Amino acid sequence: MNLIQTERLDLHHIEAADLINLFENRNDRQALSGKAFTNPLRVLIDFQGPLAWRVPQVKKNPEVNKWFVRWAVLRSTQEVIGSTSFHGAPDANGMMEIGLGVEAAYARQGFGREILQGMWGWVVTEPGVKTLRYTVSPTNTASIALINSFGFDFMGEQIDEVDGPESIYEMSADAYRKKFLNR
């Protein structure tokens, strides 16, 4: 799977077999084998975040892994500092929802923005992608400020069975391309 690069990060895709092994064995030895980067913060090991949802999807259909988990590797240190994943392949309406996490030591340094820019810059070039979606707790002021800085529209709220209340933000893939890729 192609490497996505931002100003300071390399977003490395985790292959299906490595993703399953990472989740089931809570160890990254196989996933890091042959890679030039390390995972000293144990990203996706101690807190497995999206893996509980993505691994069953990958086991059912390995082809959906294209849209799934990537490690965010800080190029200057070659260390994993976070992760990101879309929630699935484009749905019937072409909607793509994203999630991400940046380790606390690297928070509030613009890495979340870079991850989103890298992932959205890639996915809006994929066939069938029409809408970008970002959901966030209404109390997460940092994430709300981040999504507002991109100019996404507030679409309303929903109740997530795991996360509770979430605010929904969206932007069309066309609008994203025009605003951020055609400069």
Helix (H, G, I), strand (E, B) or coil at 176: helix
> pLDDT tier at 74 (50, 70, 90 boundaries)?
very high
CATH number of the domain residue 20 falls in: 3.40.630.30
Q: Half-sphere exposure (CA, 13 Å, Cβ side) for 139?
A: 3
Range(s) of the domain holding residue 121: 4-181
pLDDT at 160: 85
Query: At residue 72, does pLDDT exceed 90?
Result: yes
Number of domains present in the structure of the chain: 1
In the chain, where does DSSP find H-type helix? 16-25, 29-32, 51-60, 111-123, 141-150, 173-176
Average pLDDT over residues 161-167: 88
Q: What is the pTM of this model?
A: 0.94
| Closest-CA residue to 71 (of 120, 134, 19) | 19
pLDDT digits (tens, 9 = 90+) for 82-129: 999 999 999 999 999 999 999 999 999 999 999 999 999 999 999 999
